[in-house]
Amino acid sequence: MLRGIRKFFSFIWRNKVKSLVVVVLIAAIAGVGGYQGSMKLFHDYPQLCELCHIIKPYYTSWSRSDFLDYRHTLKGRTVKESTVEGFTDKDVVCKDCHYAPPQRLFEELWNYATGNYHNPLEERRFATAECFACHKDYNHLITLTANLEKKYPNLPQPGWNPHSSHFGEINCRVCHRVHRPSVDFCSTCHGQTMTGPGWTQEVEWKQQP
Amino acid sequence: MNSTPKKQVKTGSPSAAPNEPRISRRDFLKGAAVVAGASALVACAPAVAPTGAPATEVPQEWDKEVDVVVLGTGTASLAAIVAADAGSKALLLEKGPVFGGHTAISGGGLWVPNNFVMKKKDIKDSREDALTYIRKVSEGRTPDELLVKFIDTCNEMIDYTVKNVGIDTYDSGTQFSDYYPDSWPGHSSNPRFITPKGSGAGLIKYMKDAIDARASKIEVLLETRGLRLLYDGDSNAGTGQVIGVVAQAATSGKEMLIKARKGVVIGTGGFDHDKEMSNHFLRAPIYYTCSAPTNTGDGHRMCMAVGAMMRNMNECWGLVAYNVKDDLTGVPDWSLERGKPGTIIVNKHGERIGNEAAAYEIFGRAFSAYDTGAAEWRNIPSYTIFDSGYTQHYPLPGSGYKVGVVPDFFKQADTLEALAGQLGINVDALMATVTRFNENARNGLDPDWHRGENSFESNTSGDHERTDVKNPNLAPVETGPFYGTAIWPGTLGTNGGPRTTVNGEVLNVWGKAIPRLYVTGNTMASVFGGQYPGGGATLGPGFTFSYIEGKHVATLKPWDAA
């Protein structure tokens, strides 16, 4: 702990100007509208997040990619149909998934200053409940993926519905990833099923020791 | 050791270097990747550093404390349910991201002789017949007391799953009756296995629902693997006991110490997917497995580390396959295709390698023949040839069960000679083999390998609707075009592992039970030795011993009790 404190203050001293700017910025944002207000600010201007957080690759893929982060901004349109013009059509922004209580800010500052983190960031394992906050439940998903034949030509048979599988209601994260390609878990046994951009057949559980 | 004031315990995974800084519990916060995912937190180990102290000491701090730790969510899940019903608190760990292990992707059949479904259908069977049969099947590899315990408990286990797990859809079909010859004493030509609705997936759904209904007594952690057993005592001297498990979150690598007050039940499946282990232990190479990718021998290693008596390690439940890939995937042939009229299987020398209609486990044995002249596996690979008499009636393997579809891994030719050339089979030898085969097949006979003479073949792949064949499994291979592809040996699971007492406790190499350690499913040395008596021969004993072990471990007095 002592060593951590020493590390922390030495970091602050070495980055006097930056630290001052950050403190002033935080104070200013919080001063304008309190915590709720600043959350609104980060909703309207998600590019502000990248100013301080080490999230460039994720911010880039959220801005345009084949991954779920970008697809969450399309409001039902396909990637091809979408033209990115500013942030007006971005309906899911960083803070919608990466919500944090205020005290987390200080924990993160501490971890950053004391070097207690990895870069690139460790993949966050999101919980299924987070998805169902918007996507209702499994029955709803089953109806959404009832006719995948046209989009995915490699399906083993017509009517193949990955949300209605013999495994039942498994965690979303088994297949879906947000800032990287999603995983074709069915391909473990059934050959390629979900193909095309945004999918990979590199199933992790096949690569475990 | 007692001079060390603060007892510590090694938690390092085999890959962790001793001086590597331990990952802090705040690591997952970095930058903006915060919030939720709180389940990852449970994997935080207390600050115990690898110090070189022996791994036999009792940790002062535990991340979790339960009565029974169960590793694996296949057949072992029943052990957690039974232990919980007997008043114990259980923790169920699953390495994979989904519940159910290999059981969840299986056919869901349980080989349980003299079961209630047979009785309902007026199918004659008896305890004595079943015992006689498995005594012969197991070839003297299994202590008789284990065979007796299995036969005497399997129906009690089924009864329990009906009443307490709520499995109300057990039924049996007509295929996959006992796999060994009808002439064997005690053999049944009617299936001795029963399966609930939905096969293995259905079976696991019942288990999962039963566990969810016991949420206050059973905790489930997915993506968490057992790494090592914590053993208090000297396993080499045969003293001491298992006191817990070091587990690891598969995703973050974070480790946790779990206290098992009563015991640990290991049901982590076989070791099919561990290439090192299968190369060294199995009698011949494997190119395919249908087992869950998580079956990498984790439980075997944990048991070997505390001195377990390993048995049947050279054995596997054979399953042959086509179009095999490096990752051990392919198109299996459960005997439903190769056993139908119009097929022949030969090696590159043009010799038949066995009874094409034999059950998968038996047929797999044909691939361990060694060519002592050429110094190679004589039958690896072999080649299955289908003639057009076959393809006009039945689907080819890998066709998605569509008659007329020819998958791209098949070679095709109008004559057998041309096909043999494409596949690399000795043409003259093949023609001689096929001539003899066809002459006999026309009369419904196979004097060489007795194809179609046993009830398994007849009721599993036999076609009784065809009037143009004298034997439901046999027809001459003579109508072009011909289709051929390589057939490779593989597994549906390995069946070697620690030998146990009748209560499922692991024996050490000296034959003494290791207290508080149990194995079940494909992790234990199968009670059937190396052989598969009939459909459901993995899940039947797997669930039976999980039941026995769940009951037994729950009766133990906690090791930390005052």
Does A119 contact B293 at a Cβ distance shorter than 8 Å? no
A54 vs B contacts (CB less than 8 Å): 30-32
pLDDT of residue B212: 96
- Bridge partners, residue B484, by sequence: B385, B411
Q: Is the pLDDT of residue B31 over 60?
A: no
Q: CB distance from A28 to chain B under 8 Å?
A: no
Contact A127 B36 (CB under 8 A): yes
Contacting residues of A for B104, CB less than 8 Å apart? 166-167
- Give the distance, in angstroms, between the CA of residue B179 and the centroid of all CA atoms in the same chain: 17
Residue B544 region by backbone torsions, left for phi larger than 0, else alpha for psi between -120 and 50, else beta: alpha
E strand segments, B250-389: 255-266, 310-311, 316-318, 321-322, 331-332, 343-346, 370-371, 376-377, 382-386
The ipTM is 0.78
How many angstroms away from the CA of B32 is the closest CA of chain A? 6
Share of chain B above pLDDT 90, in %: 85
Is A202 touching B (CB cutoff 8 A)?
no
Task: Please tell me the pTM assigned to this model.
Answer: 0.87
Average pLDDT over residues B230-237: 91
pLDDT digits (tens, 9 = 90+) for B193-221: 999 999 999 999 999 999 999 999 999 99
For residue B45, pLDDT over 60 is answered with no
Percent of chain A with pLDDT over 70: 89
The crossing angle, in degrees rounded to 10, of helices B416-423 and B427-442 is 130
B290 to chain A: which residues are within 8 Å by CB? 189
B511, pLDDT greater than 80:
yes
Distances (CA, A) of B256 to A114, B11, B40: 25, 8, 11
Looking at residue A83, its pLDDT comes to 53
Element (H, E) at B246: strand B241-249
Q: Cα separation of B246 and B230, whole Å? A: 7
The residue of chain B nearest to residue A54, with distances taken between CA atoms, is B31
B264 contacts B229 by C-beta, under 8 angstroms: yes
DSSP state of B176: S
Are A206 and B293 in contact (CB < 8 Å)?
yes
A119 vs chain B: nearest CA distance in angstroms?
Answer: 8
Contacts of B364 (CB under 8 A, 6+ apart): B316, B317, B318, B319, B320, B489, B490, B491
A53 touches chain B (CB under 8 A): yes
Sequence-distant (≥ 6) Cβ neighbours of residue B39 within 8 angstroms: A125, A127, B221
pLDDT value at residue B7: 39
Note whether A98 contacts B37, CB cutoff 8 Å. Answer: no
Nearest-CA distance A99 → chain B (Å): 6
Axis crossing angle, helix B144-160 with helix B127-137, rounded to the nearest 10: 130
Mean pLDDT of the B324-352 span: 95
C-beta separation of B81 from B47 below 8 A? no
pLDDT in the model for residue A81: 55
Does any CB of chain B come closer than 8 Å to the CB of residue A59? no
Which residues make beta-bridge pairs with B111?
B193
Give the β-pairing of B411-413 and B316-318: unpaired
Closest-CA distance, B202 to chain A, in angstroms, reads 8
Which of A94, A107, A126 has the CB atom closest to B29's CB atom?
A107
Cβ-Cβ contacts under 8 Å, B37 against chain A: 124-127
Q: Is the pLDDT of residue B20 over 70?
A: no
- B110-111 and B193-194 as β-strands: parallel, antiparallel, unpaired? antiparallel
Point out the least confidently predicted range of A13-17, A181-185, B72-76, B100-104.
A13-17
Partner residue facing A205 (CB), from B26, B198, B294: B294
The number of CA neighbours under 13 Å toward the Cβ of B437 is: 28
More confident residue, A74 or B415: B415
Please give, one letter per residue, the 3-state secondary structure of B419-476.
HHHHHCCCHHHHHHHHHHHHHHHHCCCCCCCCCCCCHHHHHHCCCCCCCCCCECCECC
What is the Cα gyration radius of chain B?
Answer: 25
Q: If you write DSSP's letter for every residue of chain A in order, what string do you get?
A: -HHHHHHHHHHHHHTHHHHHHHHHHHHHHHHHHHHHHHHHHHHH-GGGHHHHSS-HHHHHHHHS-SSHHHHTTSTT--TTT----TTTT--S-HHHHS---HHHHHHHHHHHHTT-S-SSPPPP---HHHHHHHH--HHHHHHHTS--TTT-TT-SSTT--TTS-TT-S--GGGT--SSS-EE-TTHHHH---S-STTEE---GGGS--
- Report how far residue B258's alpha carbon sits from residue B302's, in angstroms, rounded to the nearest whole number: 15
Residue A87 has pLDDT above 60, yes or no: no
**CB-based contact A104 B35, cutoff 8 Å:** yes
Contact flag B34-A119 (C-beta cutoff 8 Å): no
Of A43-52, A88-97, B498-507, B516-525, which gets the smallest average pLDDT?
A88-97
Any CB–CB contact under 8 A between A109 and chain B? no
Q: What is the reported pLDDT for B14?
A: 42
- Range name among B51-60, B81-90, B435-444, B524-533 with the lowest pLDDT average: B51-60
φ, ψ of residue A52 in degrees (nearest 5): -110, -35
Average pLDDT, chain B: 90
Question: For residue range A19-31, what is the model confidence (pLDDT) as tens digits?
Answer: 888 788 777 777 7
Q: Does A80 touch chain B (CB under 8 A)?
A: no
Q: Which residue of A has its CA nearest to B290?
A: A189
For residue B224, pLDDT over 70 is answered with: yes
pLDDT score of B157 more than 80:
yes
- The C-alpha R_g of chain A, in whole angstroms, comes to 21
User: Per residue, what are the HEC states of A72-93?
Assistant: CCCCCCCCCCCCCCCCCCCCCC
Please determine, for residue B44, whether its predicted confidence score (pLDDT) is greater than 60.
no
Q: Is B299 on the interface with A (CB under 8 A)?
A: no
- A108: contact with B, CB 8 A cutoff: yes
Say whether pLDDT at B470 is over 60: yes
Q: Residue B538 and residue B522: Cα distance in Å, rounded? A: 7
Confidence bin at B41 (pLDDT 50/70/90): very low
Q: Tell me the percentage of chain B whose pLDDT exceeds 70.
A: 90
Look-up of token digits 């390998």: B449
Give the span between the Cα atoms of A114 and A192, in whole angstroms: 45
Instruction: Return d(Cα A187, Cα A181) in angstroms, integer.
Output: 14
| A198 to A65, A84, A178, B235: CA distances (angstroms) | 8, 18, 10, 51
Nearest to A53 among B32, B39, B199 (CB): B32
Look at residue A75 in the predicted model and tell me its pLDDT.
67
Does B21 lie at the interface with A, CB-CB under 8 angstroms?
no
How does residue B22 score in pLDDT terms, banded at 50, 70 and 90?
very low
How distant is the Cα of A197 from the closest Cα of chain B, in angstroms? 23
Give mean pLDDT, residues B285-312.
96
B37/A contact by beta carbon, under 8 A: yes
Q: Please give the pLDDT value at position B342.
A: 97
Distance CA B158, CA B161 (A): 5
Looking at per-residue pLDDT, the higher value among B149 and A99 belongs to B149
Summarize the confidence of residues B108-137 as an average pLDDT.
Answer: 97
Q: Per the CB < 8 Å rule, is A208 touching B250?
A: yes
Region of poorest pLDDT, from A33-42, A158-167, B373-382: A33-42
CB B489 within 8 A of CB B367: yes
Distances (CA, A) of B387 to A181, B195, B453: 44, 34, 22
Query: A208 is written with which tokens?
Result: 């475990």
Find the mean pLDDT for residues B296-309: 97
B255: nearest Cα among B228, B232, B220, B219:
B228
User: What's B377's DSSP letter?
Assistant: E
CB of B108 less than 8 A from some CB of A: no
Residues A101-129: pLDDT tens digits? 878 888 888 888 888 888 888 788 888 99
Flag whether residue A124 sits within 8 Å of chain B, measured between CB atoms: yes
- Whether residues A108 and B252 touch (CB distance < 8 A) is answered with no
pLDDT, position B15: 41
* Contact indicator for A142, A164 with CB cutoff of 8 Å: yes
Find, in chain A, the residue whose alpha carbon is nearest to that of B22.
A116
Q: Is A157 within 8 Å of B400 when comparing Cβ atoms?
A: yes
CB pairs < 8 Å spanning A and B: 121
| Rounded Cα gap, residues B519 and A93, in angstroms | 48
Q: Which of B34-38, B92-96, B257-261, B272-276 has the lowest mean pLDDT?
A: B34-38
A99 touches chain B (CB under 8 A): yes
B197: closest chain A residue by CA: A166
Which of B28, B30, B41 should one mutate to test binding to chain A, selecting the residue with the greatest count of A CBs within 10 A? B30
Can you list the alpha helix ranges (DSSP code H) found in B182-310?
199-212, 275-281, 298-305
Identify the H or E element spanning B220: strand B218-221
Which chain B residues touch A171 with a CB distance below 8 Å? 97-98, 222
CA nearest to A49 within chain B: B32
| CA–CA min distance A192, chain B (Å) | 12
What does the alpha-carbon distance between residue A126 and residue B438 come to, in Å, rounded to a whole number? 62
What does pLDDT average to over chain A? 82
* Structure confidence at residue B11 (pLDDT): 42
- Please tell me the distance from the alpha carbon of residue B123 to that of residue B130, in angstroms, as a whole number: 13
Instruction: Mean pLDDT check: name the lowest of B17-26, B71-80, B239-248.
Output: B17-26
Residue A170, chain B, CB below 8 Å: the answer is yes
